[in-house]
């Protein structure tokens, strides 16, 4: 099941943002990491069966305070095929 996880991390400068992204990308199952938010203090992690609790704990230990904002399921795009009648 593919999911998007939105985390809020206390990131004040570019060095901290780079460290947070590097830490998140190293996790098993992570496909993409993106910086979001008005103050660039949120990280959106996209992946398959990512261990959210371990990710948050690792970010807290290595980077700064982190908290879970939301988790959403990513649905694959559905293609509607039209039947061609002859």
Return the CATH number at 49. Answer: 3.30.70.100
**How many structural domains compose the chain?**
1
Distance between CA atoms of residues 49 and 61, nearest Å: 22
pTM for this one? 0.81
In a domain, 48, yes or no: yes
Residue 45 lies in a domain: yes
Q: Which residues constitute the domain of residue 37? A: 2-9+23-73
Domain annotation covers residue 29:
yes
CA geometry: angle at 17 spanning 12 and 18, to 5°? 145
> Backbone dihedral region of 50: left (phi > 0), alpha (psi from -120 to 50 degrees) or beta?
beta
pLDDT digits 0-9 by tens, 8-64: 999 999 999 999 999 999 999 999 999 998 999 999 999 999 999 999 999 999 999
Tokens describing residue 83: 């039947």
């Amino acid at each position: 099941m593919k999911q998007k996880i939105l985390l809020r991390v206390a990131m004040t400068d570019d060095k901290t943002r780079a460290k947070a992204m590097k830490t998140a990308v190293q996790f098993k199952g992570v496909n993409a990491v993106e910086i979001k938010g008005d103050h660039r203090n949120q990280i959106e992690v996209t992946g398959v069966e990512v261990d959210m609790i371990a990710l948050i704990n690792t970010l807290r230990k290595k980077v700064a305070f982190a908290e879970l904002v939301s988790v959403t399921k990513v649905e694959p795009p559905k293609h509607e095929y039209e039947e061609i009648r002859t």
